[in-house]
Chains A and B, each alone.
Chain A
């Protein structure tokens, strides 16, 4: 049953579903998906998501609920205000049942950098759920909530969606306000929905997509408010739709079964009438290094505010410099510190041109290359991740291997375009996602395409055996 049916059936009435979801999460969370749970009030009457329980990643500011970014630095921090996305969800009648685990400050691809311990994949507790929105992905996959919010800076919604067998979308940059979402890399951070189906993601977008005067980078979306209607009304006849398959996403480093599943998805679209063609985006290989330079540079500045002065952790010292050193050395984990160092270096005098500026130029080249592709193709289809979910601990000591998990998702963040991951099949008992990308503001079209796919396939209907009781039967 999808969210809309559940609302119509009255199953979510009077917040009972939310109350029972919250209650069962606080009792049993075998994956470690949640960092905190709330005691839901009765839902406000009406609203498009009236009574729907949802979870939010723990980097979204929530007044009265801790917001830790899974960091020791913010272990005891509770914001004084709600993020815009939280306010919008509340005004739609959705009920926040808890905050989900994540990689510390959203830096990571496995949820293992969380100060509070990793989240486990509901399909197999020995493998990671992906990251950094791994808690949100696991909560949806395990059936604890029908909807969760994540953030995606380099793949942090799509990669865990792929690993956990759900649908996750990073909308067009600027479509959803970042106000109140704790910044990692401002020029790429984007809030997005994670749910079982593309239709449910569209319902959430109808609530979340709005120009916010409180976020100078937010934009007016030409399709704002009409996503679900468009998805429901979309035709299963894909004649005239042109889908490109960039060969750079199918090459070395991509596991064979993953490639195979993406190719099978392409055949599904072809059978529905779409034209599928192989294309080339030769600059793709530069996306990963450009991303790590830019995102780390922005992060080094965004995380400077955690200084032990006004809020968060403080470790005193002999003088102010000592206080900074102690607080930041002990408050941040290894991966966060690695990126702050990397980013500070990329911005420092004498290296700025060779690193930050060059990366910014590469970013522009990649964005232009992708824009050009969209003059001939409506959408691009690629694997979401090179592999299925990997075993816990496997890549913790190997940052480069960890970074490779985002190689297919990063270009969309550099270009600011919408992209989603939807379940495309299984390999070795673990889900494998397929990624769809579209031009800026094609969010509705992307979701429609995914919905059409989900009408003719059943990968998204398979659930892990140890899923706990939630809204889903």
Chain B
């Protein structure tokens, strides 16, 4: 009897990510998304006869940064090769890619241990290539429309070792990769613009000496364009492979596609798998020669990777792992946090406020932190007022709303609107006696022993002072005055 429990999932990913350049990989056309079809094109990216590619050094730089961010070794000499196949949206009949001598080899991405999905995921290689165009099949007219705006957009392909052990971990890997690539400026990774696409290589490997095959044949699920699809497709493959093993079926090594609506993968036509891409060095392009010093120079200016930053936020600022993760996941907010702290604010208070109030206002307004007038200096001042107990938490939230909209400094708002805490006992005594006078019934109830009535009176005082009174002080004064019957 074969025990499916003796097998574990083995997943490797091939990720294509669009590099954050203004122009294409081998020509000067814009990479802007959303332009009218076939407007960002020229003889080079249309593959017109006689056109020749010229490598975009900006794309190479971003490839080097991506590689170094993943700890990959950038080769001093690599070259472009042609991957030959026919497809209508591939106008040259080949894609310029890298094969036998990729830009970089090795490396790893470390996932924090959350819900048992941590681990080190090895990187096999990072290479550069150009994107193809877009085919849109119009079923009713029986025609295919071609848009070459994407054609020639620079991509980095990142290939992992088959170290990923669960569909959830595959998703975690992609999230961590996206955070890393964004932080180091390699890609915006806008999923809705197709800036990240992923192939999943899935199989099962037996962990013990028991019965059944040592491993199942690999399924290659192609061209997934969301993290959710990657996870779901992997879950589907896991189920399919486990069932096959339980039944004693033998799976074939095959290419599969993902049907998002039905939630299933299905086998590609066998013809699609029979490709022999006939790679050979592109004779139109000289080899890429990258001086190690140059790669060091680029890597030297690289921002701190997310994982290192999470660790630092926890160690240096004493943040919880959760707060550190939330902040680091949003680099502008993380910067905002660090600056707020550098203005003298308490790190924990700043983290609590940024992940709470600040994030809430940003979400509600849909604005980016860089677009609103509120700055770290504003927040630091607000937290200072709060810490010195010059304003209440409630008032602080009100003040922040004003700061967020107007950019006025908190101290100015507090003074202008007389929002400072009233902690002068004499002033409070006057207010309290007025409240007692206006609410004789409540006062009488307290005097007759109903302790609850005090809460009502405190509430009235807070109401009259618009939250500025110190409730503890008000409580003490109330009891005092009611007891003394004044």
**Interface of A toward B, CB cutoff 8 Å:** 59-61, 67, 69, 74, 77, 79-81, 83, 178-183, 185-187, 213-217, 297-298, 300-301, 303-307, 309-311, 320, 324, 344, 347-349, 352, 356
Indicate if the CB atoms of B276 and A181 lie closer than 8 Å: no
Chain A residues with Cβ below 8 Å from B279 are 347
Pick the residue among A213, A298, A348 that contacts B283 (CB under 8 A). Answer: A298
Indicate if the CB atoms of A216 and B284 lie closer than 8 Å: yes
Chain A residues with Cβ below 8 Å from B82 are 301
Nearest CB of chain A from residue B304's CB, rounded to whole Å: 36
Would A297 and B55 be within 8 Å (CB), given that A81-B43, A304-B84, A309-B146 are in contact?
A: no
In the complex, 16 of the A-B residue pairs with CB atoms within 8 angstroms, ordered by the A residue number, are A61-B50, A182-B49, A183-B49, A186-B283, A186-B284, A214-B52, A215-B52, A216-B53, A217-B52, A301-B84, A303-B93, A305-B47, A309-B91, A320-B88, A347-B278, A348-B278
Binary flags per residue of B21-65, CB closer than 8 Å to A gives 1, else 0: 000000000000000000000010011111111110000000000
Chain B residues with Cβ below 8 Å from A300 are 84, 278
Nearest CB of chain B from residue A221's CB, rounded to whole Å: 16
Indicate if the CB atoms of A356 and B49 lie closer than 8 Å: no
Binary flags per residue of B113-126, CB closer than 8 Å to A gives 1, else 0: 00000000000000
Indicate if the CB atoms of B84 and A77 lie closer than 8 Å: no
Task: Tell me if B86 is interfacial: C-beta within 8 Å of chain A.
Answer: yes
> Once bound together, how far apart are the Cα atoms of A287 and B71, in whole Å?
44
Indicate if the CB atoms of A304 and B280 lie closer than 8 Å: no
Nearest CB of chain B from residue A216's CB, rounded to whole Å: 5
Indicate if the CB atoms of A79 and B49 lie closer than 8 Å: yes
Task: Tell me if B307 is interfacial: C-beta within 8 Å of chain A.
Answer: no
> Once bound together, how far apart are the Cα atoms of A213 and B47, in whole Å?
18
Chain A residues with Cβ below 8 Å from B285 are 216-217
> Once bound together, how far apart are the Cα atoms of A61 and B280, in whole Å?
26
Task: Tell me if B344 is interfacial: C-beta within 8 Å of chain A.
Answer: no
Indicate if the CB atoms of B284 and A309 lie closer than 8 Å: no
Pick the residue among B49, B54, B84, B276 that contacts A61 (CB under 8 A). Answer: B49
Pick the residue among A74, A83, A217, A347 that contacts B84 (CB under 8 A). Answer: A347
> Once bound together, how far apart are the Cα atoms of A301 and B54, in whole Å?
18
> Once bound together, how far apart are the Cα atoms of A61 and B49, in whole Å?
8
Would A356 and B50 be within 8 Å (CB), given that A324-B86, A347-B84 are in contact?
A: no
Task: Closest B residue to A61 by CB, please name it.
Answer: B50
Indicate if the CB atoms of A178 and B92 lie closer than 8 Å: no
Chain B residues with Cβ below 8 Å from A306 are 93
> Once bound together, how far apart are the Cα atoms of A59 and B49, in whole Å?
9
Pick the residue among B54, B88, B283 that contacts A309 (CB under 8 A). Answer: B88
Task: Tell me if B94 is interfacial: C-beta within 8 Å of chain A.
Answer: yes
Task: Tell me if B407 is interfacial: C-beta within 8 Å of chain A.
Answer: no
Most A CB contacts (10 A, CB to CB) among B49, B50, B88, B276 go to B49
Indicate if the CB atoms of B50 and A182 lie closer than 8 Å: yes
Chain A interface SS verdict (over half): loop
> Once bound together, how far apart are the Cα atoms of A214 and B53, in whole Å?
8
**9 nearest interchain CB pairs?**
A304-B93, A186-B283, A347-B278, A187-B283, A180-B50, A182-B49, A61-B50, A182-B50, A349-B276
Would A305 and B50 be within 8 Å (CB), given that A186-B284, A217-B284, A349-B276 are in contact?
A: no
Indicate if the CB atoms of A352 and B280 lie closer than 8 Å: yes
Task: Closest A residue to B276 by CB, please name it.
Answer: A349
Task: Closest A residue to B93 by CB, please name it.
Answer: A304
Indicate if the CB atoms of B93 and A307 lie closer than 8 Å: yes
Task: Tell me if B286 is interfacial: C-beta within 8 Å of chain A.
Answer: yes
Binary flags per residue of B464-479, CB closer than 8 Å to A gives 1, else 0: 0000000000000000
Nearest CB of chain A from residue B48's CB, rounded to whole Å: 7
Indicate if the CB atoms of A310 and B91 lie closer than 8 Å: yes
Indicate if the CB atoms of A79 and B48 lie closer than 8 Å: yes
> Once bound together, how far apart are the Cα atoms of A356 and B55, in whole Å?
25
Chain B residues with Cβ below 8 Å from A59 are 50
Chain B, range 262-320, C-beta contacts under 8 Å to A = 276, 278-280, 283-286
Chain B residues with Cβ below 8 Å from A303 are 93
Most B CB contacts (10 A, CB to CB) among A74, A217, A309, A320 go to A309
Chain A residues with Cβ below 8 Å from B93 are 301, 303-307
Nearest CB of chain A from residue B82's CB, rounded to whole Å: 5
Binary flags per residue of B81-112, CB closer than 8 Å to A gives 1, else 0: 01010101001111000000000000000000
Nearest CB of chain A from residue B58's CB, rounded to whole Å: 15
Chain B, range 199-227, C-beta contacts under 8 Å to A = none
Indicate if the CB atoms of B280 and A297 lie closer than 8 Å: yes
Chain A residues with Cβ below 8 Å from B283 are 185-187, 217, 298
Chain A residues with Cβ below 8 Å from B49 are 61, 67, 69, 74, 77, 79, 182-183, 305
Chain B residues with Cβ below 8 Å from A305 are 47, 49, 91-93
Would A304 and B86 be within 8 Å (CB), given that A309-B146, A347-B280, A356-B280 are in contact?
A: yes
Task: Closest A residue to B80 by CB, please name it.
Answer: A216
> Once bound together, how far apart are the Cα atoms of A75 and B8, in whole Å?
59
Nearest CB of chain B from residue A446's CB, rounded to whole Å: 25
Chain A residues with Cβ below 8 Å from B92 are 304-305
Indicate if the CB atoms of A307 and B86 lie closer than 8 Å: yes
> Once bound together, how far apart are the Cα atoms of A324 and B90, in whole Å?
13
Nearest CB of chain A from residue B281's CB, rounded to whole Å: 8
> Once bound together, how far apart are the Cα atoms of A120 and B375, in whole Å?
81
Indicate if the CB atoms of A216 and B94 lie closer than 8 Å: no
Known: A81-B48, A216-B285, A305-B92. 7 other contacts (CB 8 A): A80-B43, A80-B48, A180-B51, A216-B52, A301-B84, A307-B93, A344-B278
Nearest CB of chain A from residue B134's CB, rounded to whole Å: 14
Indicate if the CB atoms of B48 and A311 lie closer than 8 Å: yes
Nearest CB of chain A from residue B310's CB, rounded to whole Å: 42
> Once bound together, how far apart are the Cα atoms of A244 and B249, in whole Å?
71
> Once bound together, how far apart are the Cα atoms of A67 and B43, in whole Å?
15
Task: Closest A residue to B44 by CB, please name it.
Answer: A214
> Once bound together, how far apart are the Cα atoms of A349 and B86, in whole Å?
17
Nearest CB of chain A from residue B421's CB, rounded to whole Å: 68
Chain B residues with Cβ below 8 Å from A183 are 49-50, 284
Indicate if the CB atoms of A179 and B51 lie closer than 8 Å: yes
Pick the residue among A181, A187, A309 that contacts B50 (CB under 8 A). Answer: A181
